[in-house]
Amino acid sequence: MLLRDIELKDDSPKEFFLDKHVKFLNNYAKNKDNSYEQIMVEYLKMNGIYWTITALKLADSSIENDIRQEIIELIRSCKHPNGGISAAPRHDPHILYTLSAIQILVSFDVNLESSNPEESVIDVNKTVEFIMSLQNDDGSFNGDHWGEVDVRFTFCSIASLALLKRLDAIDLDRAIDFVMKCYNQIDGAFGCRPNSESHSGLTYCCLGSLSIAGQLHRIDADRLGWWLAERQLPSGGLNGRPEKLPDLCYSWWVLSSLAIIGRLHWINKQKLLCFIMACQDNETGGFSDRPGNMVDPFHTLFGITGLSLLSHEYFDDSTIDHKQNDQDDRIDIEKLRKIIQKVNPVFCMLDQTITKMGIRIQRLS
Ligand code: FPP
Ligand code: ZN
């Protein structure tokens, strides 16, 4: 079979450009509505802010107070009477943006339970009602009131309610039964709906849902681990499904899945590190999907989360390797661990935020 892959150049970046990334992310967060790019991405503005804020937090960078206030005001102006939240003002509410808004508010440590209308950015009861209204009789979730069903929406609903501490509002057992209908016995991975092709982005959504619900025992972790490990190509990068090119965002979808099922060490760490580093732009800062392409905040977040998982969660004997071989061009993982904060593999937020809130996730070993 012809393997689709790319080749890394010898002069690809090998160090992490922290300051440049922070500058790139801050510029994105400060961008005003009148720029061309900002108009182009308006339909996913709320996601864009979540990607940017999370990446800055993982890079241990403080967020200026006026940016924080501006973002909180934006979320206020994106909430709808039905409790859902939209990507931008005057857009329709959707669970994808509702989760991003909740993640941002939780990261900002905003008091969501405040009874003072001045303080309360969203009406939690209404938002919970919105999420409840998306669940169907078979346990699945629509993304909005147009009716598309996808396990992405199941994950967004479950993760939102877990962050709001209101998981009891939905029929969680039925939601998980639907997730298990999307499980493909043949490779151990998941598709977007029953009998759909396995995809690692959707596998992350299903594992995240199972982890929050404490139901990971229902999968064959070894079979899934094999399929996920096979996503690594000779370039070191990961693809989303067989015969696809590597893409940096799969350093999140695949690695977080492996981390949840306790099999992160089934991929080659140094090769993936080299691929991730090569996706940086050493002039503008930021990461792109593949070396040499245009950078964006989505791939910048997932470059940083990939590095976070590899440096905080992947335990191996690389220190022994160091002594035995001439490994001068190896990427210094100890240094990365000091610079990049630990990410939570289910919520894709600072791990300490999730721990501090007392939210527990299930992990396999
Ligand atoms: C790949 O999409 C990724 C997915 C299908 C998963 C998306 C997951 C969510 C929206 C849940 C929320 C996520 C987080 C991190 C909290 P793609 O369209 O790029 O797939 P392709 O590579 O096959 O085109
Ligand atoms: Zn991508």
- Residues in the chain, total: 365
329 CA → ligand 1 middle, Å:
32
Is the CB of 269 inside a 6 Å radius of any atom of ligand 1? Answer: no
pLDDT in tens, 103-117: 999 999 998 877 676
289 CA → ligand 2 middle, Å:
5
Is the CB of 46 inside a 6 Å radius of any atom of ligand 1? Answer: no
Which atom of ligand 1 is least distant from the CA of 103?
16
Phi and psi dihedrals of 31, rounded to 5? Answer: -55, 135
Q: What is the CA radius of gyration of the chain?
A: 20
Is the CB of 141 inside a 6 Å radius of any atom of ligand 1? Answer: no
pLDDT at res. 323: 42
- Determine the angle formed by the axes of helices 95-107 and 65-78, rounding to 10 degrees: 150
Q: What is the mean pLDDT of residues 11-26?
A: 95
How far apart CA 104 and CA 85 sit, in angstroms, is: 12
How far apart CA 175 and CA 222 sit, in angstroms, is: 24
3 state SS of 272: helix
Is the CB of 240 inside a 6 Å radius of any atom of ligand 1? Answer: yes
Which among 202, 256, 308 is the best mutation to test ligand 1's pocket, defined by most ligand atoms within 8 Å of the CB? 202
Q: Which residue has the tokens 């894709």?
A: 348
25 CA → ligand 2 middle, Å:
17
pLDDT in tens, 238-284: 999 999 999 999 999 999 999 999 999 999 999 999 999 999 999 99
3 state SS of 1: coil
**CA atoms within 13 A of residue 223's CA, in its CB half-sphere:** 12
> Which range is least confidently modeled, 15-24, 51-60, 119-128, 192-201?
119-128
Percent share of the chain, pLDDT over 90: 85
What does the block give as tokens for 283? Answer: 């002039």
65 CA → ligand 1 middle, Å:
30
pLDDT at res. 36: 52
pLDDT at res. 322: 46
Q: What is the mean pLDDT of residues 214-229?
A: 98
> Which residue lies with its CA nearest to atom 14 of ligand 1?
348
pLDDT at res. 162: 98
Which among 100, 154, 199 is the best mutation to test ligand 1's pocket, defined by most ligand atoms within 8 Å of the CB? 199
13 near 307, Cβ under 8 Å? no
Spell out the residues 6+ positions from residue 344 whose beta carbon is closer than 8 angstroms to its own: 350, 351, 353, 354, 361
Name which residue leads in pLDDT, 118 or 314: 314
127 near 83, Cβ under 8 Å? yes
Q: Considering the chain, what is the average pLDDT of its residues?
A: 93
> Which residue lies with its CA nearest to atom 4 of ligand 1?
201
Q: What is the mean pLDDT of residues 163-192?
A: 98
pLDDT in tens, 36-94: 566 557 878 999 999 999 999 999 999 999 999 999 999 999 999 999 999 999 999 99
How far apart CA 127 and CA 314 sit, in angstroms, is: 37
pLDDT in tens, 306-325: 999 999 999 775 544 444 44
Phi and psi dihedrals of 179, rounded to 5? Answer: -55, -45
> Which residue lies with its CA nearest to atom 22 of ligand 1?
240
The ipTM (two decimal places) reads: 0.98
